[in-house]
Amino acid sequence: MKTSLCMSILAAGLVLVTVPAAARDSLAALSEQVRSTEIAFAKTMADRDLAAFGRFLAPDAVFVAKPVTRGPAAIIAAWKEYYQGAEAPFSWSPEQIEVLDSGQLALSTGPVLNPKGERIGTFSSVWRRERDGHWRIVLDHGWPECHCPKSP
C-alpha cells in the first residue's frame, strides 16, 4: 500500500515537472506579468535609475536603433544619456501585450511620450521568460511617430 501511494505521488510530481510552464500559467496571467514588467521597466526612466534599467535586459539583448546595440553593457552605455538630468526626456507604457502559446516570449508595444505627454513615437519590446521566471527584454525597437497623411 505504501509503495503504490509513493509511486502515485512520484508520478504526480513528474507530471507537474514535465507540464510546460505555459500550461500551468494562463496566457492572461502571463500577459499581466509582462504588462507589470514593462511598467516597472518604464518606471526606471521616471526614477532616473539606470542600474535598475539594466536588470531588465537579457544577456543577449539587442536594441534596434542606429546603430544596433548588442548586450547589456553596450545598451546601458547607449542609454546613459537618457538617464542624466532631473527630468526624464520621455516615457512609455504598454498598450498591447501578446504572449506566445508556449508562454516563453511576449511582445509589448505602446506609445512613447515627451515630458508634455505628447506622443512622439511607438516602442515594441520582445520579452523572454527566463528559467528563474523573470521576464527580460531580448529585442527592443522604437520609432518616431509618423505624421503621414491619412488614407481617404
pLDDT, tens only, 75-125: 999 999 999 999 999 999 999 999 999 999 999 999 999 999 999 999 999
Domain count, the chain: 1
Q: Answer yes or no: is 99 within a domain.
A: yes
Q: Which residues form the domain of 71?
A: 26-144
Q: Is residue 97 part of a domain?
A: yes
> Does residue 9 sit within a domain?
no
Q: Does 21 reside within a domain?
A: no
Instruction: Specify the pTM.
Output: 0.78
Reported residue count of the chain is 152
Task: Tell me the CATH number at 54.
Answer: 3.10.450.50
Q: Is residue 6 part of a domain?
A: no
Query: Strand 135-144 vs strand 57-64: parallel, antiparallel, or unpaired?
Result: parallel
- Whether 60 is in a domain gets the answer yes
DSSP per-residue string spanning 3-68: HHHHHHHHHHHHHHHHS-HHHHS-HHHHHHHHHHHHHHHHHHHHTT-HHHHHTTEEEEEEEESSS-
pLDDT surpasses 70 at 68: yes
